[in-house]
Amino acid sequence: MHLLNVKFVTVILLLILLGVLYSYIFRAYRIVVSFEQKDKIPVDRAHDSSLVVPDQPAPHADFRAHDSSLVVPDHLQYEQPSIVKGNDVVTVTPWLAPVVWEGTFNPVLLDSIYRPKNITIAATVFAVGKYIMFLRNFLETAEQHFFVGFRVHVYVFTDQPKEVPMVKMAAGRQLMVRSVPSSKRWQEISARRMEMIQTLIEEKLFKSTDYIFCLDVDSKFHGRWGTESLGRLVAVVHPGYYRDKRSRFPYERRPASRAYIAPEEGDFYYCGGAFGGLLQEVHLLTKTCRANFEADAQEDIEAAWQEESHLNRYMWTNKPSKVLSPEYLWQDFKAKNPEIQIIRFSGVVKNYAEIRPNV
Ligand code: 48C
């Protein structure tokens, strides 16, 4: 009998020990699973503007929508801003947008912030008529300097699809060709870019692209153009006027035009040959500029510098969230000013009379 009791007690003790062991193991496992689950919370990559991903607050449907646009009431008067002060550079606008100059940013830091976001950047370039001659250099130098190491889709718009050069593209970079009609007027070719870009965004890019930059083809890259240029709405200061008084800017000055800017108004003179930003912002910009250009045309008005005039009017009212210095679109025929430490992208020397279909 005594032996039976010892065995019975031993079995009971063993069962209790197993139960305790099991509960420890299971609870530990549950912690690990919940930790892993936490890591698996899907982060919305599409427009994740956070720079670091802290412990995610529980998603609430009831956060107020945030409008980050910087729209200014018409005809607000204030002193003309500048991006240079003597031989020094100015690195912020009066509406607190960064002005990107060499030496003001850390490319390694910025690339390490944006790489995990898995972004797609589109670039549009038009090579119509004789401008096709610039396309190879544009594409080859873009491969060397434009968002190197990131996913880039280049959209070439041309009336001569068969003439598009085969350029070796790095992994993750693609070139797509879209046929567009030519025109007897270079003004028309240039201006219609807004309509073509709007249509491209609506037909093809909305679901797949985060940022877009729209660039002139008669230019080449000479230095880094990368994640420092990313932003909601990005404008490039024209190299020809950033030291001038705004009354001398080649804005559209006829009040009848929708691109009109008065002599005592305006911030900077921005390039029509380089602009960009978040897809939805550039969609709104191109849609607005196209509509205004076409409405003017209905009244037999063509702004002084076509879509570039309308872009300047748009950026006067809808302040850019980031301004790129003239490093981002220089002109080869110009000597470098002292504040220009690097030329990243620059218009090549050309004879317009030889390459344009009309004067
Ligand atoms: O592709 C053409 N063909 C033309 O005959 C005239 C303009 N264009 C496109 O429009 C090119 O992409 C040009 O870069 C752009 C207008 N810009 C210029 O002509 C100079 N960069 C000012």
235 bridge partner residues: 275, 323
Over residues 175-203, the mean pLDDT reads 97
Q: Report the separation in Å between the CA atom of 126 and the middle of ligand 1, taken as the mean of its atom positions.
A: 7
In a domain, 341, yes or no: yes
Q: What is the mean pLDDT of the chain?
A: 91
Same domain, 12 and 157: no
* Residue with tokens 């599409």, as numbered in its chain: 46
Backbone angles phi, psi at 7, to 5 degrees: -60, -45
Which of 125, 193, 217 should be mutated for ligand 1, with most atoms under 8 A from CB?
217
C-beta 216 within 6 A of ligand 1: yes
What is the per-residue pLDDT across 270-321, written as a single tens digit (0 to 9) for each? Answer: 999 999 999 999 999 999 999 999 999 999 999 999 999 999 999 999 999 9
In a domain, 290, yes or no: yes
177 bridge partner residues: 156
> What's the number of CA atoms in the CB half-sphere (13 Å) around residue 332?
12
> What's the number of CA atoms in the CB half-sphere (13 Å) around residue 156?
26
Same domain, 8 and 75: no
Q: Report the separation in Å between the CA atom of 312 and the middle of ligand 1, taken as the mean of its atom positions.
A: 17
Distance separating alpha carbons of residues 82 and 229, to the nearest angstrom: 19
Which of 130, 131, 160 should be mutated for ligand 1, with most atoms under 8 A from CB?
131
- Assess whether pLDDT exceeds 50 at residue 32: no
CATH number, domain containing residue 290:
3.90.550.10
Same domain, 5 and 113: no
Residue 17 has what pLDDT? Answer: 79
Same domain, 178 and 327: yes
Distance separating alpha carbons of residues 196 and 191, to the nearest angstrom: 9
- The predicted model scores a pTM of 0.85
Band of residue 12 on the pLDDT scale cut at 50, 70, 90: confident
Q: Which residue has the higher pLDDT, 15 or 50?
A: 15
In a domain, 342, yes or no: yes
| C-alpha distances out from residue 31 to 23, 28, 35, 53, Å | 12, 5, 6, 22
Q: Report the separation in Å between the CA atom of 313 and the middle of ligand 1, taken as the mean of its atom positions.
A: 20
Which residues lie closer than 8 Å to 217 by C-beta, 6 or more apart?
Answer: 125, 126, 127, 131, 134, 135, 138
Q: Ligand 1: which atom is nearest the Cα of residue 132?
A: 1
85 bridge partner residues: 88
- Assess whether pLDDT exceeds 60 at residue 37: no
Q: Which residue of the set 308, 327, 339, 354 is catalytic?
A: 308
- The three-state secondary structure class of 90 is coil
